[in-house]
Chains A and B, each alone.
Chain A
Amino acid sequence: MMIKQLSLFLENTPGRIQEPCRLLAGAGVNIRTLTLADTQQFGILRLIVSDWEKGRQVLQDAGYVVNVTEVVAVEVDDRPGAPPRQPNQYLPGDVDRYAFDARKGQDLVIAVSARDVLTLPQEAIQTIGGESVVFVREGADRFVARPVEVGDRVGARRAVLRGLNGSEAVAVAGAFNLKAELLKSTLSGE
């Protein structure tokens, strides 16, 4: 499940966090959870609120720069090593950048990873010489094999951890044929 997260820029001086909280409270927007990333000079306050559109509006009207990013929400039980509640949900092994937790009901926690997990249908990922590759479109009918690092299964799809940035067009249904063509041409070349 994707949810919206608000991030805002704050200077790193005492009392800076007060005003946004007060503004949100005034507008009746509830903060579900927050995290703060800071450096010596400034910080980024990341918020998950009950009504992100209203929250953004209130903060922007007050002069804050607000970014909206989508984050992945995963429900897990509140105990060590608990797997995601939904079996096909993907909890990245490296919730690398940051994680939130928010209570929902008694002891259920939503872990949120801000890393957009890129997934591809299983058939788009082919293996050549033990290496996982996808076929990226470069030109009208030219596809080039590109090595990728794959992660866990996400339902019928598979997470791609490295090698793609998400903007590429990738062959899905024809990927196997492309692999066959590629192997054929390398064979005949030898």
Chain B
Amino acid sequence: MSEKLQQDSLWIRRRIIELAHNAGANGSHTGGSLSLVEILCCLYSNCDIASDGTHERNRLILSKGHGALALYATLERYGKLSKEDTDTFETNGTKLFAHSSRIVDKGLEFAGGSLSLGLSFSVGVALAAKSHGYDNQIYVIVGDGECNEGLVWESLMSISNYGLNNMTIIVDNNDLQSDGFGSDVMNSKPLTDKFSAFGFDVHEIDGHNIDEITQVLNTKHTNPKAIIAHTTKGKGVATMENNPSWHHGIVNDVIYNEAMLNLNGGTA
């Protein structure tokens, strides 16, 4: 299982770089997409995330809309988007731009982009599920930079207040945001203590370790669950790793070749 997911992750990273390269001068959010890859692979492989439109479906809501490119590539890997779909990334008239649209039957649950709105929306979705008596799970991915937003904390307060143990929040904790390192811009640490104080079952893991992610996703929980996944922005491409300038950047031919070499196991 772990080996297959590692192969999936590699495929998805290559596809992210290809699509970013195709987008050319439009640029794309490569760094924050590359940090998300293992998390997305494990969610789609372990959690029965459905795109069949049934009300009882498990959902993944990408509140961190800036990671949409990783989601598109993952949905292609798992057959929910076609290559023809993802090839439209950042072309005129596309529905697959830097931040996703809501297209439920393609597995895109939320029109992300404005940070924190997806988490607040998810609270309503989880309340509706409880109200119907469904036994499903609502997975939400937020970024650590996104946790600067006040609405994140309004949402966490309400998740705790309503006892929404049908929610799992995964923080893609790559410690980078547009202006630089989170600890320099606006320090939101310690996230674990904060989520605990809000009544969550909190797990801290290596967000690139497939075994750790799988295990924590499969851990039963009676309270709302929060997974603080420590990740590396730009993971897998040497020049992008932990480099603030790859929050949003242009993958030209040189970068593309370097990146593909890295992702094929070599160094540039």
Query: Are A and B a genuine interacting pair, yes or no?
Result: no
